[in-house]
Amino acid sequence: MTWMPCLDCGEVAPGTRCDHCRAEREARTSERRGSATSRGYDSRWQRLSARARRLQPFCTDCSTTDDLTADHLVWPARTLADVDVVCRPCNSRRGATRGEKASRHAEGPSGEAKFPSHSSSLGGDAA
């Protein structure tokens, strides 16, 4: 990891932000976005995400084994075929390429939150 000045306070840190500024930034983001549970990431998603990361312990995009997340290809993700294991930076890049509409929840007829399918933007098949 490269040591560099924190983008917020200038203190030398092993990344783009020091631990203090990173925690403050995450708190602000969490406050703005709401909790993971309120956004639809319930215990079912947590189990599916953990299983996917256990079965594939590396990022699909860059092959790193650090800071892995499960990216949902369709929402709600119900099977392993509906998720892709990627590191947090790659997951963020994917979200940025999908645009603002893809990062907001839409209400389904049953009231559950869902995302549109993103498999075409990833060049893969969600099934």
Per-residue pLDDT of the chain (127 residues; tens, 9 = 90+): 688 999 899 999 988 899 999 999 888 877 887 777 887 788 999 999 999 999 999 999 999 999 999 998 888 888 999 999 999 999 989 888 876 444 443 333 344 433 333 333 333 333 3
Residue 127 lies in a domain: no
Query: Both tokens of residue 19?
Result: 């631990």
pLDDT computed for residue 99 by the predictor: 64
My answer on whether 78 and 24 are in the same domain is: no
Bridge-based pairing of strands 12-13 and 4-5 is antiparallel
My answer on whether 60 and 118 are in the same domain is: yes
pLDDT computed for residue 38 by the predictor: 82
For the chain, the residue count is 127
My answer on whether 47 and 23 are in the same domain is: no
Radius of gyration of the chain (CA): 16
pLDDT computed for residue 123 by the predictor: 37
Q: Which domain holds residue 62?
A: 43-122
